[in-house]
Amino acid sequence: MDPWVVLLGWALAIPVIALAIFRLDRRVDERTVPFMAILAAGIFVAQMLNFPVGGGTTGHLIGATLAVVLLGLNGAIVVMTAILVIQCLVFGDGGLTALGLNLLNMAVIAPLVAYGVLRALKGHEGAAVPVASWASVFLASLACGLMLSASYVISDGAFGIIGSVAIPAMAGWHAVIAIGEAVITSGVVLFLKRVAPEMLEINGPEEAGA
Amino acid sequence: MELHIDRDAEGSALFRFDPRVKLVCIFALIVLVSMVTDAAALAFALLFAVLLLAFSRVPPVQLARGYLAALPFISLSSLTMLLASGPGSAMAMALRVSTSVLLLLLLVRTTPFMDLLWALRWFKVPALLTDMIMLTYRFIFVLLEELERMRLARKARGFQGGRSLLDRKAFQVLANTIGMVFLRSYRRAGQVYAALLSRGYDGKARTIATYRVGGRDLALGIVFVITGVWTLALQMGWYVWP
C-alpha cells in the first residue's frame, strides 16, 4: 500500500470511530462494556470458523452485519475496531500499516453499509439481513480493490496492484464469499430469533435516536 | 487452541523497558519502513529487527510460530506484486512486511498485554475502547474452548464440513454453531458482570503498572532513532558508510 493511501485510510477511519465511541460513551452504563466485549469475542471466534465456498476453497465471516443487528451502528463500529486491533496486536494479522485500511473497510464501511441497508429495507423481514450482509462484504471488498489500485497509480507501481486486476479480483471473489456471509448471518439471526429473541431487541429503541 | 502471548514476556531482556517507549519506537519504525522502497534499506531494517529479537531472548520457536502465521499474507502480497510489478517490488514487499511483522512480534512478545493497553490509554486512546479490548481479549480464550468442544461434538456426530456454498446442511450447522456461541456468550455476560462487580469493577479498569522512563529507555530510543535515520539515508541515497 502506498503511504498516502494508508494515511488517507487512517484519516477517514479515525473520525468515524471517534464519533462512534463518543456517541456510545454518552449512553453506556458500566454494564455495557463487558456485554459488548463478550459479543466482540463471539464475533472474533465466529470469524475463525471457515465455511466452504467451492473448489476446495473456504471463506470466513466478517460479522459486521451481525454486530449491527446485535448492537446497533455505533456499537458495531466500536466492536469491529476492538476486534481488528486485537487481530493486529496479538495475532499479527495484516500488520500495523494495514490496520488503518482494515479499520476503514471492516469497521467503518461494512457496518455503515449494513446499517444503511437494514434501515432501507426495514419491514422486509426476510430480505433485510441477507442483503445487508452481502452488500457490506461486497462494498468493503470493492473499497479494498479501489485502495489497492489507487496505491498502484499514486506510487507508479511500487505499491499496490493495477486496477484492472485488483478491482475485479477483489470484488468478484468477494461477491461469491459474501453469499456465505449472507447465508450464515441470516441463519444466526433466525436462530437467535427462535432461541433468544431478547438478544435482538437490545439496540432497538436507543439506536433510533442515535 | 490456546495462545499465551504473555508467557515469554517476563523472561525477555526488553521486559523491564517502559511499554510507552517501546510502543512509540516500534510504531515509528514500522511507519518508516512502510514507506521505504529500497531493498538495501529494507534489508538493513530487517537485520536490526532480527538482532533486536536475538537480544530480547524471546524463544525462537515462539517467534517462528508468529512469523509463520503471517507467512500466507506475506507470500500472497509478494506474489501479487511479482505478477503485477516485477521482482524488485516483490522483494521489497516481502522484506517490508517481514520487518513490520517481526517488529510487532517484538513488541507483543516482550510486553504483557495489560501493560500494552495501559500504554495505549496513556496515549489517550479512549478508555471505552481499551477496556473493551482488554475484556474481549480475556473472553476470546473462553469462547475458543467452547468452540473447540462444539467442534468435537460436531465431529462426533459425523459433520463433514461441506464442499461448496450450495451445501445447505453445512451452512445450517455452521449458522447454528455461531448462533450458539453468541447465545452462550450472552448468557455468560451476566455472570461475568457479577464477577467483575465482586472484584470492585465500577466501569473503569485500573492497572497496577508502574513504569518510569529511565536511562535504558532513553538508550533504546536512541538506538531506534539511529536505525531509522540510517534506513532513511539508505532509501534516499545519502552517502553513508559502508
Contact flag B181-A46 (C-beta cutoff 8 Å): yes
Query: Quick one: B36 and B114 in the same domain?
Result: yes
List chain A residues with CB under 8 Å of B95. Answer: none
* Interface touch B84/A95, C-beta < 8 Å: no
User: Based on the domain organization, do B48 and B98 belong to the same domain?
Assistant: yes
Chain B: residue nearest A33 by CA? B132
Assigned domain for B78 exists: yes
- Cα separation, B86 vs A20, whole angstroms: 42
Q: Is A92 left (phi over 0), alpha (psi -120 to 50) or beta?
A: left
Let me know if residue B242 belongs to a domain: no
In chain A, what percentage of residues exceed pLDDT 90? 0
Pairwise CB contact (< 8 Å): B128 & A21: yes
B38-64 pLDDT, tens digit each: 888 888 888 888 888 888 877 888 778
**B185 and B152, same domain (yes or no):** yes
Number of domains observed in the structure of chain B? 2
Q: Given CB atoms, is A40 within the 8 Å cutoff of chain B?
A: yes
Residue B173 lies in a domain: yes
For residues B28 and B141, membership in a common domain is answered with: no
Q: Do A82 and B180 touch (CB under 8 A)?
A: no
Cβ contact A38–B192 (<8 Å): yes
Strand blocks (E) in chain B: none
Percent of chain B clearing pLDDT 90 (strictly above): 0
Q: Tell me, yes or no, whether B27 and B117 share the same domain.
A: yes
Q: Among A82, A162, A195, select the one facing B136 at the smallest CB separation.
A: A82
| Cβ under 8 Å to B: A residues 108-147 | none
Q: In chain A, what is the greatest distance between 2 CA atoms, to the nearest angstrom?
A: 54
Helix axes B19-35, B113-122, angle to 10 degrees: 80
Residues A145-170 have a mean pLDDT of 76
To the nearest whole Å, the CA of B91 is away from the closest chain A CA by: 11
Q: What is the ipTM of this complex?
A: 0.78
Class for domain A3-209, per CATH? mainly alpha
Q: A179 and B3: CB-CB below 8 Å?
A: no
- Does residue A207 have a pLDDT over 80? no
Range of the domain at B135: 126-198
On whether both B81 and B29 belong to a single domain, the answer is yes
- Pair (B53, B163) in one structural domain: no
Asked if residue A9 has pLDDT above 80, the reply is yes
Nearest residue of A to residue B192 by CA position? Answer: A34
Please indicate, yes or no, if residue B5 is contained in any of the structural domains. no
- Counting DSSP H helices and E strands in chain A, the numbers are 8, 2
Residue in B86, B139, B202 closest to A37 by CB = B139
Give the separation between CA A107 and CA A85, rounded to whole angstroms: 10
CB < 8 Å from A in window 102-121 of B? 104-105, 107-108, 113, 116
B138/B84 same-domain check: no
Q: Render pLDDT for A59-113 as a digit per residue (tens, 0 to 9).
A: 677 888 888 888 888 888 999 999 888 888 776 655 677 788 888 888 888 888 8
Question: Is A28 an interface residue toward B (CB < 8 Å)?
Answer: yes
Q: Do B165 and A54 touch (CB under 8 A)?
A: yes
Residue B3 placed within a domain:
no
Cα dihedral sign for B211, A99, A108, A190? negative
Same domain, yes or no, for B43 and B89? yes
Lowest mean pLDDT of A41-50, A182-191, B200-209, B223-232, name the range.
Answer: B200-209
- Taking CA–CA distances from A49, the nearest residue in chain B reads B174
- Tell me what pLDDT residue A62 has: 81
Residue B65 lies in a domain: yes
Mean pLDDT, residues B85-100 taken together = 80
Please provide the average confidence, as pLDDT, over all residues in chain A. 78
pLDDT in tens, B168-190: 777 778 888 888 888 887 777 77
DSSP element (H, E) containing A127 = helix A125-154
Delimit the domains of chain A by residue range.
3-209
- Whether B7 is in a domain gets the answer no
- CB < 8 Å to B4, chain A: none
* Alpha carbons B122 and A90: distance in angstroms, whole number: 19
- Asked, for residue B207, whether it belongs to a domain, the answer is no
Specify whether B139 is located in the same domain as B112: no
